Chain A
Amino acid sequence: MMTTGAVDLEKKKKVVFVTVGTTCFDALVKSVDSRHVRNELKKRGYTNLLIQMGRGSYIPRKSTMQSCGEDESLVVDYFTFSPSIADYMRSASLIISHAGSGSIFETLRLRKPLIVVVNEDLMDNHQSELAEELADRKHLFCASPQTLGQTIETMDLDSLLPFQSGDGLPVAKLINKFLGFPAE
């Protein structure tokens, strides 16, 4: 049975969801797990931190409701994979993601605030191009594992612009035109 206090906490729950997809991105998980980043998240009013750590080997420190009673730190939990992280994304107030295009666009479609963290250890890091372009267009924030805390501290969520989804229609039009099919 929930006490009144616990019910209030449930209502005011603001979840930060961290995802690395199917990759191994220990640098991000470590950064999110650091005292500095946890503090910054707490200062911005987030209550829960859920980390999807994929193939990573670094294990974050769990922190449950009971253990954070008096000092009021973040509630932290983690898991490796899930068949569909859509539900976790939907119930999150902030998403911190690796720079995979699938994760990025899934988050933008859900209209959630997004911080994309580029994995600098990857060879041929073309992923940063997409993250930087979308950050330039103010659809998300971009950070490195080192600058994540600072980004959380200074980010202005109101400055984010919604992303208009595209579709394959321009491509279909050009293909039809090239093949000599009549236009719709």
Chain B
Amino acid sequence: MEGFHSQDSVTILIGFVVSIVVIRLAYVLYWSGRPLRTLSQRVSTLIVLGSGGHTAEMLSIVNVLEKDRFVPRFYIAAGTDNMSLQKARVLEESLIQKEEIGNKKDIEKIACFEQIYRSREVGQSYLTSIYTTLVAILHALWLMLKFRPEVIICNGPGTCIPICLVAFIFKVVGIRWSSIFYIESIARVKRLSLSGLLLYKLHLADQFYVQWPQLQRKYQRAHYVGCLM
């Protein structure tokens, strides 16, 4: 009879935990995408840079954001991407020159540049991709615990997926509520990228932006923002 009782309490405990997680999940999914009501002066911002054209598009957004509102800024790029962080540094340094952000010493308090392991290289076998994706998720977890940003801005490619996954888990667990903004690439006119599809279907992004009207008609929770370039 004792065995029966402890089995019973374990089952109840598991049931209890699962219920809490499900309720919390429902709460997160309900509130994701709803405009925030709390007003803050500053929001720490994580900016995920993809390679090449993606970086150019992302920096064109960062360029027009209010620099004293979206601060500190954490830039993350894939380990194999050599150019993106450099371009971000150039942008931040030019802001100092324009005296938008004080002197050179302040740059450390304002901007941070980090590399992240890439989940999958172009052409990599799907088998080894499972391992590298896990590594990327762990690295994303490390970076997200370090920065705990209030805002995440990303535009694919895959570099942003581990980060958005971790951010979502943080929402559910209550570590940090990050508002996630995803902007689909200008090269996507009729079909979403894999990253975009994942973030859209799983409701991982709070707001989803597309640059062509065809995509907005197809994915109605997306916002049409015109061409960034």
Contact = CB atoms under 8 A, between A and B. Distances in A.
A and B bind = yes
Nearest to A166: B227
A172 B187 contact: no
A153 interface: no
A66 interface: no
A177 B36 CA distance: 9
A69 interface: no
Contact of B191 (A126, A170, A176): A126
A2 interface: no
Interface string A99-132: 0111001000000000000000000001101101
A157 to B, nearest CB: 22
A180 B36 CA distance: 6
Given A100-B53, A102-B53, A168 B63 contact: yes
Given A100-B53, A130-B186, A180-B36, A171 B191 contact: no
Contacts of A100: 52-53
Interface string A154-184: 0000000000011111111011111111000
A10 interface: no
Given A170-B226, A172-B65, A177-B35, A101 B179 contact: no
A172 B185 CA distance: 16
Contact of A171 (B36, B69, B183, B185): B183
A174 B61 contact: no
Q: 4 closest pairs, A vs B, by CB? A: A166-B227, A168-B61, A129-B189, A170-B225
15 contacts: A101-B185, A101-B186, A102-B56, A105-B186, A129-B187, A129-B190, A167-B64, A174-B209, A174-B223, A174-B225, A175-B181, A179-B151, A179-B179, A180-B35, A180-B39
Interface of A: 100-102, 105, 126-127, 129-130, 132-133, 165-172, 174-181
